[in-house]
Amino acid sequence: MLARDLAGVSPATPRHNADQPHMPASSSTAATRPAPSHQQLALAAGIGVAAVWGANFAVQKTLFSLLPPGAFLFARYLLMPICAALLLLHANGWRWLRLPRKDAIKLAGLGVLAHTVHVSMVTYGIHWSTAFSSALIMACGPVFTLLILHWAGLERLTRGQVAGVALACAGVLTFLSDKLLGRQWAATGGDLMMLFSASLFSYYTVMTKPLIQRHGGVAVMAYATVAGSPLVVLAALPVALDAPWAQMGVWHWSLLLWAALVSAFLGWLVWGWVNEQRGVGRTAPLQYLMPLVAGVVAWWATGEQFTVAKLGGAAVTLAGVALAQFATRDANDPVREAPARVD
């Protein structure tokens, strides 16, 4: 099933329009490649999203001191599909954009995978673990992304990328060593849940790239969100009915809106555009910045403490991301990323 899905994302020769003059391959590639200014803007946007997502771990931990995770999911997935639908309508002259049946069905499945399953697991993983631990575990996402892309033949991994990924993995294992040795099974279970959810997000990132290229990030975001929301709302309804909504003040409502609209809605939308501009292989390592932001915010906002093993593991992880992100191409390997199928 996975191999069949990835076959639809394999590299392909761009299709030329019969009404347009034929262009040499090099000129066509140069014409479709994002301009350097777009690349710089995409890099800045990706760093910004990673910073927002890193801070959001502490935001949710603070919010969960009053509001149960299920109630948070209920509120989030009442707000997000409405915003996504309104954005899509606004972008298309207040008409609903109809996608080809095959793409709509694929997006519905990806929406359930990403929003119903992935986000739910991340939310409860944050609740059971700590903000810093959750962020560092989610930083394993680029490992899965690069492996999926390499297996599918979409991107060639340089030696520097492979070394960076390996170094980052070693850092994550070092980071988790104190929990494993201390037999903190509840926190470890939350971290393992986060690890699995990171692989789901990587799969979603890879599979939505060609859909974003065909239909745009707004359409992909809207269809996936609308498809993934109903099951979350129905499952969380009993918890939401018993939640202490009346005890929430302006501060807690602000945290809820930040987590649901800024971090989740805008974050996923911008992240899709960044992947389209830079390629998922070059963008994924930016997720390694989340632990740094999460650690600082968690220390400042919640008083989270860090052991030597945690700090050492985090340092090794961040060293790995620097290597994976900025490693140069091999001299005999001019192509870093093959284009996704867009025809």
Rg, C-alpha atoms of the chain: 20
Q: Indicate the pLDDT class of residue 219, thresholds 50, 70 and 90.
A: very high
Position 79 in a domain: yes
Q: Is 162 exposed, middle or buried (0-12, 13-18, 19+ CB in 10 A)?
A: middle
Of 156, 123, 169, 122, the residue nearest 279 (C-alpha): 156
More confident residue, 56 or 308: 56
Residue-range definition of the domain harbouring residue 84: 37-326
Q: What is the dihedral sign for C-alpha 205, 207, 208, 209?
A: positive
Position 5 in a domain: no
Q: What percent of the chain has pLDDT over 90?
A: 34
Position 274 in a domain: yes
DSSP for 7-60 reads HTTS--PPPPPTTS----HHHHHHHHSPPHHHHHHHHHHHHHHHHHHHHHHHHH
pLDDT digits (tens, 9 = 90+) for 74-132: 999 999 999 999 999 999 999 999 999 999 999 999 999 999 999 999 899 888 878 88
| Element housing 179 (H / E) | helix 159-181
Dist CA 156 CA 14 (whole Å): 19
Q: Indicate the pLDDT class of residue 324, thresholds 50, 70 and 90.
A: low
Q: Which of 149-163, 266-280, 289-303, 319-333 has the lowest mean pLDDT?
A: 319-333
Evaluate if residue 140 carries a pLDDT over 80: no
Work out how many domains the chain is built from and give that number: 1
Position 15 in a domain: no
**What are the backbone dihedrals phi and psi of residue 155, each rounded to the nearest 5 degrees, phi first?**
-140, 145
Terminal Cα distance for the chain, rounded: 22
Question: Across the chain, what does the average pLDDT equal?
Answer: 78
DSSP for 235-300 reads HHHHHHHTS-GGG--HHHHHHHHIIIIIIIIIHHHHHHHHHHHH-HHHHGGGGGHHHHHHHHHHHH
Q: Which of 61-75, 174-188, 304-318 has the lowest mean pLDDT?
A: 174-188
pLDDT digits (tens, 9 = 90+) for 38-60: 788 988 999 999 899 999 999 99
Residue 63 has what pLDDT? 93
- pTM summary value: 0.74
